[in-house]
Every structure is written in structure tokens, then in C-alpha cells.
């Protein structure tokens, strides 16, 4: 949707008046109504998520496990995981070794098994 709102500064999409959303009255109304709730959720997630979502020891343990299995250090590789707070259970490959990972999968018992398969394929 092209228009004047496309060139609005990022700050105009926030409170107090959400001027950047003037071209979408329904979205502006929903945003105004839910802003405080969303902001509280975001602050809680930041406090909780910083510790929980940094690269885990699990990731290092999986790489070490694969190296023991193959009998030598893994070949150098770079992988990127974008951890998302979504209600989804599917890890999605964006390109090459970049993946969108639902937070609930990343923090589950399923994660090490999935990661093991990935590391094994690139090691």
C-alpha cells in the first residue's frame, strides 16, 4: 500500500497519537486500544528473555556430541537462528543456514535432536 504513510518517520507509528497509521483508521484504533497491553508484554519478555534466549550450553553440547560421533572437529560453519515468540511448532529455513525458530521449540526437549541433525549435516 503506497502513499504518504510510507514515508512517515518510524517514531510516528508510536504513541501518543500513532500519526503514521492515519491512513489505516482500523489499525490505528486497534493499536491505540492495545498499546499499553503490548508494551507491558514487551517489557516482561525483555526481562525474561534476555537470560533464557542467549545461545545455550545445549547448542555447544550438541556440536561436541557430533564431533565425538564423527571422530574429529566439525568443519567450520556459521548458522543463524532467529528466535521468535510465536505460537508455532515449525522451524522454517529462510535460506541456507538461517532459520526462524519458534521460542517454544528452542526451549523444548525437541531442540537438541533437531540441532543434532543440522550439525551432523554440515560437520
Written in H, E and C, the secondary structure of 49-102 is HHHHCCCCHHHHHHHHHHHHHHCCCCCCCCCEEEEECCCCCCCEEEECCEEEEE
User: Residues 41-67: what's their mean pLDDT?
Assistant: 80
Q: Which band of pLDDT confidence, cut at 50, 70 and 90, is reported for residue 65?
A: very high
How many CA within 13 A on the CB side of residue 49? 12
Question: Is residue 97 within 8 Å of residue 80, measured between CB atoms?
Answer: yes
Residue found under cell 491505540? 32
pLDDT surpasses 60 at 53: no
Q: Which band of pLDDT confidence, cut at 50, 70 and 90, is reported for residue 49?
A: low
pLDDT surpasses 60 at 5: no
pLDDT surpasses 90 at 45: no
Determine if the pTM surpasses 0.85. no
CA 33 – CA 27 distance, rounded (Å): 10
Amino acid at each position: 500500500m503506497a502513499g504518504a504513510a510510507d514515508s512517515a518517520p518510524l517514531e510516528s507509528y508510536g504513541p501518543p497519537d500513532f500519526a503514521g497509521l492515519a491512513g489505516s483508521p482500523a489499525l490505528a484504533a486497534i493499536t491505540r486500544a492495545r498499546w499499553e497491553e503490548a508494551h507491558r508484554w514487551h517489557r516482561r519478555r525483555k526481562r525474561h528473555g534476555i537470560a533464557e534466549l542467549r545461545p545455550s550450553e545445549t547448542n555447544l553440547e550438541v556440536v561436541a556430541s557430533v564431533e565425538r560421533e564423527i571422530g574429529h572437529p566439525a568443519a567450520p560453519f556459521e548458522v543463524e537462528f532467529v528466535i521468535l515468540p510465536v505460537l508455532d511448532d515449525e522451524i522454517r529455513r529462510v535460506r541456507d543456514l538461517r532459520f526462524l525458530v519458534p521460542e517454544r521449540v528452542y526451549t523444548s526437549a525437541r531442540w537438541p535432536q533437531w540441532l543434532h541433525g543440522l550439525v551432523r549435516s554440515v560437520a
